[in-house]
Amino acid sequence: MVYTINNKKELELKKFSELNLYRKMLSMFLLTFSYTLLITIVFIFPISNDKGTTLASCLSVSATLYAAIVAYLLLDNWKIEHRENLKSAYFQKTFDKYIELKDAIYVLQNIHDSWLEDIYRNQGQIDDYEDGGLIKGVSNVKIHLKEIANRFDYYAIIFKDKTYEQTIKEFKAELDKVLDPILEEYHEREGQVYHSEHFDDAKSLKEQLPIIVKQYDESISDLMSNKILLK
């Protein structure tokens, strides 16, 4: 639904842009023709012996000048469209990366339940420092999160647009707040974290991650979809 709405919006903007271009071209035609005709009648005709040839020459000059103006307008319009297409392609790839991040978060928030099932299947047998894949899951989310944050930072630098900066920073900060302590403790203790502590961390992530994603998902998706042009 978001893409359909935004696609209609982009089509309307494109039509408006084309109409605006046609208006500029028509205005420049009338302006160029009028000024050329005015200058010809007021300044050139009085000193010309062959008014027909003079008028034809002046109109030829006017047509040449108008052609140059049209070329400039078309080039300027192409630059604008090309820039928007570049943004669209960039955010399409960024959106794909965001989906990968959400998939990684989904896997992480479900580690608690899948690990619990494994424990039941093994009749409660569990190694002292088993983590059920928690550390790997946290690390995977951190990798994807950094990649997304970097892509938005690069966008701000390349396109001089910081529209997305605050939202992405807040989203990353919220995730870092629940993920970093787990990794820090794991490294400080050189992996000697008892399985019950890992299990509690997994349970905490199961509760907190969906809340964070729900809080930011719609706004982040809207920010990106507003820049994506559907072909």
Residues found in the chain: 231
pLDDT tens, 50-69?
878 888 888 888 888 888 88
Q: How confident is the model at residue 124 (pLDDT cuts 50, 70, 90)?
A: low
Whether 216 and 138 share a structural domain:
yes
Whether 67 and 15 share a structural domain:
yes
- Residue 231 lies inside a defined structural domain of this protein: no
- Residue 230 lies inside a defined structural domain of this protein: no
Rounded CA separation 177/141 (Å) = 13
Whether 117 and 63 share a structural domain:
no
**In the prediction, which pLDDT does 88 show?**
86
**In the prediction, which pLDDT does 123 show?**
66
For the chain, how many structural domains are there in total? 2
Domain termination residue (choose one: 37, 67, 82): 82
Q: Are 147 and 98 in contact (CB under 8 A)?
A: no
Higher pLDDT, 145 or 33: 145
Whether 95 and 182 share a structural domain:
yes
Rounded CA separation 172/219 (Å) = 14
Burial class of residue 119, CB neighbours in 10 A (0-12, 13-18, 19+): middle
Percent of the chain with pLDDT over 90: 33
Whether 102 and 60 share a structural domain:
no
Rounded CA separation 64/69 (Å) = 9
**In the prediction, which pLDDT does 110 show?**
92
Q: Which domain holds residue 140?
A: 87-225
Higher pLDDT, 116 or 231: 116
Q: How confident is the model at residue 109 (pLDDT cuts 50, 70, 90)?
A: very high
pLDDT tens, 85-98?
888 888 899 999 99
| Distance of alpha carbon 199 from the chain centroid | 37
**CATH number, position 173:** 1.20.120
pLDDT at 122 over 80: no
DSSP state of 162: -
Domain termination residue (choose one: 25, 53, 82): 82
* CA quadruple 77, 78, 81, 83: dihedral sign: negative
**In the prediction, which pLDDT does 5 show?**
39
Whether 70 and 136 share a structural domain:
no
Q: How confident is the model at residue 139 (pLDDT cuts 50, 70, 90)?
A: very high
Task: State the average pLDDT over residues 117-139.
Answer: 80
pLDDT tens, 169-215?
999 999 999 999 999 999 998 888 888 888 899 999 999 999 999 99
**In the prediction, which pLDDT does 54 show?**
81
Q: Which two tokens stand for residue 65?
A: 């000048």
**In the prediction, which pLDDT does 231 show?**
53
